[in-house]
Amino acid sequence: MPVASPETYLAHLNPAQREAVLHTEGPLLVIAGAGSGKTRVLTHRVAHLTSALGVKPNEILAITFTNKAAGEMRERLLSMLGPTARAIWILTFHSACGRILRAEAERLGYRSNFTIYDSADQVRLVKQCLEDLDKDPKRFVPRGIHVQISNAKNLLLTPALYAERVASFYDQTVAEVYALYQKRLHASNAVDFDDMLMLTVEALERFPEARARWQKAFRYVLVDEYQDTNHAQYRFLQILGEHHQNVCAVGDPDQSIYAFRGADIRNILEFERDFPETRTIALEQNYRSTNAILDSANAVIANNSERKEKRLWSKLGDGDPVRVVEVEDENAEARYVASRIASLVEEGYSGSEIAIFYRMNAQSRAIEQTLRLSQIDYQVIGGPRFYERAEVKDAIAYLQVLDNPADAISLLRIANRPRRAIGDTTLSRLVSYAEAHGISLHEALGHPEEAGLAKPAVKAVTGLKNLLDSLRSAAEELGVPELIQEVLDRTGTIEAYEAERTIEARGRIENLEAFVDGAREYQQQAEQPTLGSYLQEISLFSAQDELSDVEVSNVTLMTIHNAKGLEFRAVFIVGVEEEI
- The CATH number linked to 425 is 1.10.486.10
Interatomic CA distance for residues 383 and 346, integer angstroms: 29
Our CA angle for 440, 120, 72, nearest 5°, is 110
- Rounded to an integer, the average pLDDT of 366-382 is 90
Q: Is the pLDDT of residue 202 over 80?
A: yes
Together in a domain, 445 and 392: yes
Residues 42 and 119 in one domain: no
User: Nearest-CA neighbor of 562 among 546, 578, 574?
Assistant: 546
What integer pLDDT is reported at residue 384 of this predicted model? Answer: 60
What is the tens place of the pLDDT at every residue in 84-116?
Answer: 999 999 999 999 999 999 999 999 999 999 999
Mark whether 77 and 220 lie in a shared domain. yes
Give the integer Cα–Cα distance in Å for 235 and 197. 9
CA 446 → CA 415, 430, 450, 464, 579, distances in Å?
14, 10, 9, 10, 57
Q: How confident is the model at residue 505 (pLDDT cuts 50, 70, 90)?
A: confident
Is residue 536 assigned to a domain? no
pTM > 0.85:
no
Residues 447 and 488 in one domain: yes
314 lies in a domain?
Answer: no
Cis amide bond preceding 418, omega within 30: yes
Evaluate whether residue 316 is within a structural domain.
Answer: no
Any idea which of 283-287, 449-453, 521-525 has the lowest mean pLDDT? 521-525
223 plus 285 within the same structural domain: yes
Q: Within 13 Å and on the Cβ side, how many CA atoms surround 77?
A: 29
Mean pLDDT value across residues 143-158: 96
CATH number of the domain where residue 342 is located: 3.40.50.300
Q: Are 73 and 64 in contact (CB under 8 A)?
A: yes
At 452 the pLDDT is: 92
For residues 74 and 210, membership in a common domain is answered with: yes
Among 266, 293, 237, 239, smallest CA distance to 62 is for 237
| Three-state DSSP class for residue 446 | coil
pLDDT over threshold 70, residue 464: yes
The domain that holds 174 is classified in CATH as 1.10.10
DSSP notation for 103-131:
HHGGGGT--TT-EE--HHHHHHHHHHHHH
Q: 394-441 pLDDT, tens per residue?
A: 999 999 999 999 999 999 999 998 989 899 999 999 999 999 999 999
Asked, for residue 1, whether it belongs to a domain, the answer is no
The pLDDT tens digits for 32-74 are 998 999 999 999 999 999 999 999 999 999 999 888 889 999 9
Judged against a pLDDT cut of 80, whether residue 5 lies above it is answered with: no
Among the candidates 163, 188, 213, a domain finishes at 188
Cβ contact 77:50 at 8 Å:
no
What range does the domain containing 507 cover? Answer: 387-529
> Rounded to an integer, what distance in angstroms lies between the CA atom of residue 478 and that of residue 216?
37
Q: Are residues 89 and 206 in the same domain?
A: yes
Give the number of domains in the chain. 4
Model pLDDT for residues 530-548, shown as the tens digit of each residue? 999 999 988 887 545 655 5
Do 333 and 357 lie in one domain? The reply is yes
Does one domain contain both 83 and 210?
yes
The CA distance from 135 to 354, in Å, is: 48
Q: Are residues 57 and 87 in the same domain?
A: yes
Residue-averaged pLDDT of the chain: 92
Q: Is residue 399 part of a domain?
A: yes
pLDDT bracket for residue 1 (50, 70, 90): very low
> Are residues 438 and 453 both part of a single domain?
yes
**Alpha carbons 102 and 234: distance in angstroms, whole number:** 20
